[in-house]
Amino acid sequence: MGVLVEARGLEMSYGGRPAVRGVSFTVSSGEILGLLGPNGAGKTTILKILSTQIVPAGGRVVLAGVDVMARPEEARSRFGYLPENPPLYDYLEVGEYLSFVAEARGLSGGQKRERMEWVVEACGLAGVFHRPIGELSKGFRQRVGLAQALIHDPPVLILDEPTTGLDPLQIAEMRGLIRELAREKAIIFSTHILQEVEALADRVLILNQGREVASGTREEIYRRIYPRPVYRVRTAGEPPETEGLPGVREVKRLREGEYRVILEEEKTDLACMLCERGWRVRECHPERLSLEDLFLKLVRSA
């Protein structure tokens, strides 16, 4: 898979207040990158830089081989952008709006007709094609917004909070559509909703106060926090000892009868060893923190 998005050392400030500080990442074709962070973390600023809405104070962005700062007009043909509030004209019918966007993107004739037919089918808009946009539900408005981002078949999609305001069924449908699109495109989306990252992203970039605090797959981020094997152990009663256990680096009591055991290296007979040391083990398994646990741990320690 080729790299379609490359951002290096992005910097941006508003009124002297840093919004983005030295953020770098790449996204390849067929990959979904989720930007995750609390409100004010710098997610939307990064998307605005990528989509040529603002020029960063420092850094470089290349989209599908085009330097965004050096050739912004050419770069705009390489991406589709869905802002949190799509730029829709309520008085236009869906078909009229998509026709307008297609022509603004330089499409005409058979190419325009082919792309309009494709986005209408892909985004499920056939049933509302002749309805004014102002009469549509939030879910269909998001679909129209996504259709306008796709009309020119860009290799890169930039999505800002794509499921905001949708009901559970609409969220599931939007996720399915984004996954389908990701087969051929590089997709970047921002969210502060952990479930969206877990459901969609191949990799995640966690931001806090404009800085990167972690990036990678969930497993890679977990290994950054806990580079050694970690087990969760439940016991009947309190163990007789927690210090000096062979091959054990640290034992942390989480609550009554539950412990986090960090090993020096992988140990397949941990439960047997603990039982030999007088632990009444009821359950022993590798720990797998949720993305929420990882996010909170990273952000609070940043």
From the CA atom positions of the chain, what is the Rg in Å?
Answer: 24
pLDDT digits (tens, 9 = 90+) for 223-257: 888 888 899 999 998 898 888 899 999 999 999 99
Q: Which of 79-88, 154-163, 287-296 has the lowest mean pLDDT?
A: 287-296
Residue spans of beta strands (DSSP E) within 46-178? 58-63, 66-67, 79-82, 156-160
pLDDT of residue 113: 94
- Where residue 251 sits, what CATH number does that domain have? 3.30.70.1560
Residue 291 lies in a domain: no
Q: What is the pTM of this model?
A: 0.83
- Where residue 202 sits, what CATH number does that domain have? 3.40.50.300
Calculate mean pLDDT across residues 283-293.
83
Q: What is the mean pLDDT of the chain?
A: 90
Calculate mean pLDDT across residues 156-182.
87
Final residue before a domain boundary, out of 201, 223, 245: 223
Q: For residues 13 and 21, what is the distance between their CA atoms, to the nearest angstrom? A: 8
pLDDT band (50, 70, 90) for residue 203: very high
Query: 206 and 81, same structural domain?
Result: yes
Final residue before a domain boundary, out of 223, 243, 270: 223
Residue 18 lies in a domain: yes
Q: Which residue has the tokens 């990167």?
A: 212
Domain residues for the domain of 173 are: 3-223
pLDDT digits (tens, 9 = 90+) for 110-134: 999 999 999 999 888 999 999 999 9
pLDDT of residue 302: 60
Give the torsion through C-alpha atoms of 232, 237, 241, 247, to 10 deg: -20
pLDDT band (50, 70, 90) for residue 1: low
Calculate mean pLDDT across residues 47-68.
94
pLDDT of residue 120: 94
| Residue 267 buriedness (CB in 10 A; 0-12 / 13-18 / 19+) | middle
Query: 259 and 136, same structural domain?
Result: no
